[in-house]
Structure 1
């Protein structure tokens, strides 16, 4: 099912058992922020990106290394070198994603980020080292920025795809089929939003962080909240702006987000995560957040 009808999606999704696949990844990879700087093309539709003078590449490298070290305590975490020709290429989940045995390569909107999808080292790691098949969407014309645009409930095989300049309806359909999902809900993001994963996180298939003001249609927010109730935290504008919604469950019992996101998270929302069985772990990423993304954007999951 691919639908824009939130009520139809909700009816279908409620019948989907959590037997589609592992709820969390078995490993992950990052791309180091060498050459980290403001990419003007990306800034054109990313309101979260800081001005050029607010980028501190050295601090971003230190924070990124600390993120990898922290993640490596939980699951195997590989880091590929950055490419100075791709100054915001440290957010690989937009260009690369996986299902068991297969790498999916996305189609980035901006030329400065299309360079990432062509990386032979990342493609070779999956194809030649891990033996994954490659499904390459990068050469077709429809933008589909993978798990930036598409938030996936891996346990139930459900997709939530926000449409914007970074993903159109045709691109969403390509991703739905590439990930083999049972159902995908299409909806417009609110004006000024560029990626769904800034305003929605589905955590190990059993809880959600949701920023209502990031979605254009309140009915969509209501349907998502109903699906994950009672384990849903509906975040306010301050929490969204601090990237509290750009979070990820790397294991069954822990939600990861940036230090800024964790500090902004309201006590009732912390309590909601605790009732769902999640602790919260944060890492400082303020230098990286100048690039308009946060923790979840940095992590490409390996299933």
Structure 2
């Protein structure tokens, strides 16, 4: 099922077994912020990006290295070299994704990011080292920026796909098929939002963080929160702006977010996560956040 019908989707979702796959990834991959700078094409539809003068390449590199060291305490974490010709490559989950026995290459909206999909070393790693079947969506015309646009509940096989200039309905259908999902809900993001994973995170299949102001229709956000209640963090405007929604569970015990996000997270919402068995782990990423993404955007998952 791939649908915009809230009633139909959530009737299925509430009765979907938690046997689709593991709740969290086996490993993580990152791409170093080499050549870190403002990507002017990406800034056209990413309101979170700072002005060029706010980019600090040395600080971004230091923070990214610390991010790898930190998350390696939860899962094996490998880092590919960056490329000065692809300044957004520090956010690799939009371009490369994994599912059972396969890896998926996304179709990026902007040409500066389309270059990332052509990386032979990363394709060789997934295909030849990990032995994954390739599903290449990068050469077709429909934008589908993988787990930036599509938030996946891996234990239920459910997808939540926010449509914007970074993903259209045809692209969403291609991702639904590539990841082999049971059901995917389509909805519009609010004006000014570019990726679903900035405003929504499903954590180990048992909790959710949702930013209602990021949805064109608040009813969609409310229905998603209800699916995971009582373990639903419904972010206020300050939490939304601080990237609380851009978090990830890398194990069944912890949820990772940036230091800015962890500071903005209210005590009540921290307790919601604790009740779900998830302690908050954080890493300072303010330099990288200048590029319009935060911790979850930096992490590609290997399932």
Q: Runs in 1 of length 4+ with deviation above 3 angstroms?
A: none
Structure 1 residue 73, shift from structure 2 partner: 1.3
1:255-266 maps to which residues of 2 (within 5 A)?
255-266=255-266
Which position in structure 2 is the counterpart of 1:130? 130
Which position in structure 1 is the counterpart of 2:66? 66
Q: Distance in 2 between matches of 1:280 and 1:213?
A: 23
Q: Distance in 2 between matches of 1:288 and 1:222?
A: 30
Secondary structure at the aligned position of 2:19 is classed as: coil
Secondary structure at the aligned position of 1:251 is classed as: coil
Which position in structure 2 is the counterpart of 1:97? 97
1:65-84 maps to which residues of 2 (within 5 A)?
65-84=65-84
1:229-268 maps to which residues of 2 (within 5 A)?
229-268=229-268
Q: Distance in 1 between matches of 2:60 and 2:219?
A: 38
Secondary structure at the aligned position of 1:246 is classed as: coil
Which position in structure 1 is the counterpart of 2:44? 44
Which position in structure 2 is the counterpart of 1:216? 216
Structure 1 residue 101, shift from structure 2 partner: 1.6
TM-score (norm 1): 0.99
Question: CA RMSD, aligned part only?
Answer: 0.5
Q: Distance in 1 between matches of 2:9 and 2:180?
A: 16
Does the CA-based 8 Å contact 1:142-1:170 persist in structure 2?
Answer: yes
- Once the two structures are superposed, residues 41-79 of structure 1 have per-residue CA deviations (whole angstroms, 9 ceiling, x without a partner) of 000000000000000000000000000011111111110
Structure 1 residue 100, shift from structure 2 partner: 2.3
- Once the two structures are superposed, residues 136-195 of structure 1 have per-residue CA deviations (whole angstroms, 9 ceiling, x without a partner) of 000000000000000000000000000000000000000000000000000000000000
Q: Distance in 2 between matches of 1:283 and 1:23?
A: 22
Q: Distance in 2 between matches of 1:193 and 1:82?
A: 26
The number of equivalent residue pairs is 303
Does the CA-based 8 Å contact 1:7-1:223 persist in structure 2?
Answer: no
Instruction: List alignment gaps of at least 5 residues for structure 2.
Output: none
